[in-house]
Each structure stands twice: as structure tokens, then as C-alpha cells.
Amino acid sequence: MKVKEVADLVGISVRTLHHYDAIGLLTPDGTTEAGYRLYSDENLEMLQQILFFRELDFPLTKIKEMIHSPSFDRMEALELHRSMLLDKRSRIDKMITTIDKTMRNARGEIQMTTKEKFEGFDFSRNPYEQEARERWGDEAVDKANAKAGSMSKDEQEAMTKTMNGIYAKLAELRSGSPDSAEAQAAIKEWYDLLNQMGSYTLEAFKCLGQMYVDDERFTKNIDRFGDGLAKFMRDAMAVYADANLK
């Protein structure tokens, strides 16, 4: 069979067959006197194999290995590729949820979830501590915990109140100019307060300080942190949104 016949039969382009010939992936068994490629039945079978693996997104070099070396472990290759696909899919899932969140955010449909979880503001028994340790190291977390632990209950309550006050102020300023001196002052106040909490808390909240500037970046930044911490921060966002509605 000549190129176009083959190409039409399996639904690929002539150029693709040329390419496969060029890289030695599929060399036709024969040629006419004029130099036309002639594909045998075996060539067709091999092409089926190639297209099968191609459809699974295997790179052509890998396919070449698989086809040309009988010792190649197909099962293992499939297994490996499967896990790669799973990774890819979960990345796509993440993208989709990020887009959804971005769109909801842009539409102003911020969900007001568990405000309560945030009310206590108990940094000393943070459920995401393990995650934070892995992310920023023991030292930072211990320092933050020591700081929080050294606060009396009254002090903690006072701090929570102060923070909520700042949220309210930020919310108030949100509708106005974000570049005003007032806003800058509120943000600085917030940063300073967070600074007292230790570095990992600060890191985790840094992006929230820019939230009023740009919702999309907020959505992106929040996902830089692990799932647990991201949730934690979204809760903070909820408090913020709530303050915004008062």
C-alpha cells in the first residue's frame, strides 16, 4: 500500500508517515522503482501498535524502544504511564477548581463558611501544624507556637479582637481607593501584628494582605500553600468577607 492509502485508512497524515520513516520508527518494507513507499501488512500492524501507544501520549522515542526491543517491559511502561496520567489529571483538576474559585471570586460570590473555626484563633493548636512544619521547618513553627503559647488567654482574645478590627478596616477600605494612606496603614498594622506571631504565620498570611488589590492573584497565592493551610486561609477570607458585609 502507498502512503495515502495507509494514511487514509488509519486516519493520520502522509507527513506523519514520512516523519515516522525519517526517525526510523516505521520504515516501509518496500519501495517502487520511483521511490514510492510501500507498506506491507506487517507495517500496518506495527503502525496500529504505534498509534495505540501514541494515543496514550507516549513519546515517540519510547514507542520506538518498546517496538524495537522485545525485552521491553510493556506492563511496567503501562503502569508508569498510568501514574503519569493520574498526576496530569489531578493537576487539571486543580486548575479547574482554581478557575472555578477565580470566577466565583470575580463574581463576588464568596462563600461564607465556617466563621466559627476562625473565631477562637487558636494558633497554639493549629490543625495544620504538621503541614506547616514540613513547609517552613520546625524552627519557624516552634517559634510561632512559643509566641502564641506565651500569650495569656486575655492577650489572645485581645489579639483576635485587634485582628478582626483590622479586617473590618480593610473591608471598609476595600470599596474605596486601595492605595490610600489609610489602607497602607491598616495593612502595615496587620503585618506587624502577624509578625508577632512568627514567620510561618506571617508567610501564610502575607498574600491575604494583597487580597483587596487583586482577587485573581489572591486565588493563586492561596494555592501555593498546602491544602490544609489554604483552607485555613480561606476561612480567614470568610471572616474578611463577613466583615465586608456589615
Site of interaction with DNA (CB under 7 A): 2-5, 12-16, 18-19, 21, 32-37, 54, 59-61
- Cβ-Cβ contacts under 8 Å for 49 (sequence gap 6 or more): 67
23 contributes a contact to a copy of itself by CB under 8 A = no
Q: How far is the CB of 217 from DNA (least distance, A)?
A: 18
The residues, ordered by sequence, that sit 6+ positions from 115 with a Cβ below 8 Å of its Cβ are 235, 238, 239, 242
- Count of all residues that appear for the chain in the document: 246
Q: Which is nearer to DNA, 35 or 70 (CB)?
A: 35
Number of residues that bind a copy of itself (CB under 8 A): 35
> Judged by CB under 8 A, does residue 73 bind a copy of itself?
no
Q: Is 92 in the site for a copy of itself (CB under 8 A)?
A: yes
> Binding of a copy of itself at residue 216 (CB under 8 A)?
yes
CA angle 65/69/72 to nearest 5° reads 80
Residue placing its CB nearer to a copy of itself in the complex, 161 or 224? 224
Task: For DNA, give the closer residue by CB, 39 or 190.
Answer: 39
How many other C-beta atoms can be found within 10 angstroms of the C-beta atom of residue 39? 23
Stretch that binds a copy of itself, among 55-63, 145-153, 163-171, 188-196 (CB under 8 A): 55-63
> What DSSP character marks residue 40?
-
Among 96, 146, 158, 185, binds a copy of itself (CB under 8 A): 96
Residue number with CB closer to a copy of itself (73 or 138)? 73
**DSSP assigned state of 30:** E
d(CA 67, CA 61): 10
Instruction: Choose among DNA, a copy of itself, none what residue 103 binds, the Cβ cut-off being 5 to 8 Å by kind.
Output: a copy of itself
In this structure, what are the phi and psi dihedrals at residue 30, rounded to the nearest 5 degrees? Answer: -140, 170
By three-state DSSP, how is residue 31 classified? strand
